[in-house]
Structure 1
Amino acid sequence: MAQKLTATTTGVINAEPAGVWAVLIDPELLSQAFFGAEVETDWRAGSPITFSGEWNGKSFQDKGEIVTVEPDKLLRFTHYSPLSGQPDLPENYHTVTFALTPAKGGTELTISQSNAGSEEERTHSEANWAQVLGTVKQLAER
């Protein structure tokens, strides 16, 4: 089996970690960052998280589980999308991590997604997460 790849994007946001964190856990703001998907969870480790909406004209409901919640520092959850065409098995879930680090001028936000099955998938995921990071930056800086 091929080694799984990790997509990563990093940027500095001109806001304190608490301000960035507030965007990440606000369902309405997070929806803007997640391409309009409705995000539902209670943000507690072990709780389910769902993302529902429309992507490229197809309705979807992705799901996962909250893994780690460290306010103003770290948010990690698993993610599975039926649109991937893969069966709903643990080995087909990604782990998505939002790591916040105080930085000169604000907060460094690193978003990573593990378990990409190919270089093409990794590159595609990095482009999507770069867009998410850009929107989180806009929302946190306003």
Structure 2
Amino acid sequence: MVAGSPELPSITCHARLSRFILCGVFSIRDPMTKRFTAFVSVLLISFSIGFAAPAASASVLHDTPVATAVGSLPPKTCDISSNLDTTANVYISACRKASIRKVFPGEYLGVVLLKIKRDRTATGKKAWKLLNDQRWRK
């Protein structure tokens, strides 16, 4: 290694992707390239670990079954009371105009309509009101 550069005694470049990236960062001599490469390697490592994944912001999302939220079938009718087990995203795609997505709260797109109906927060009430508003009907 170059004199004055940090030593990495236990890192071997062939062991893992993150270690390989770090070895590449410390073998670069240009300071600007080293910073850019370090930045890119931190991004890659954080995406692979999952630090950059967005966290669920609404408490409504935590008790939604995954199979219900992911595997919802398109509704046969557009009556909201008969589609309470459908996610808002599927219901909007099948029964509402696309322009509702501009004003619909994004954190409720993957939530089942029954949970939106029971939610008493301001955004939950807004989501339910928009789903029932007739001006968004196809």
Q: TM-score, normalised by structure 2?
A: 0.22
Structure with the greater alpha carbon radius of gyration: 2
Q: TM-score, normalised by structure 1?
A: 0.22
More helix by share: 2
Higher relative contact order (CA 8 A, sep 6+): 1
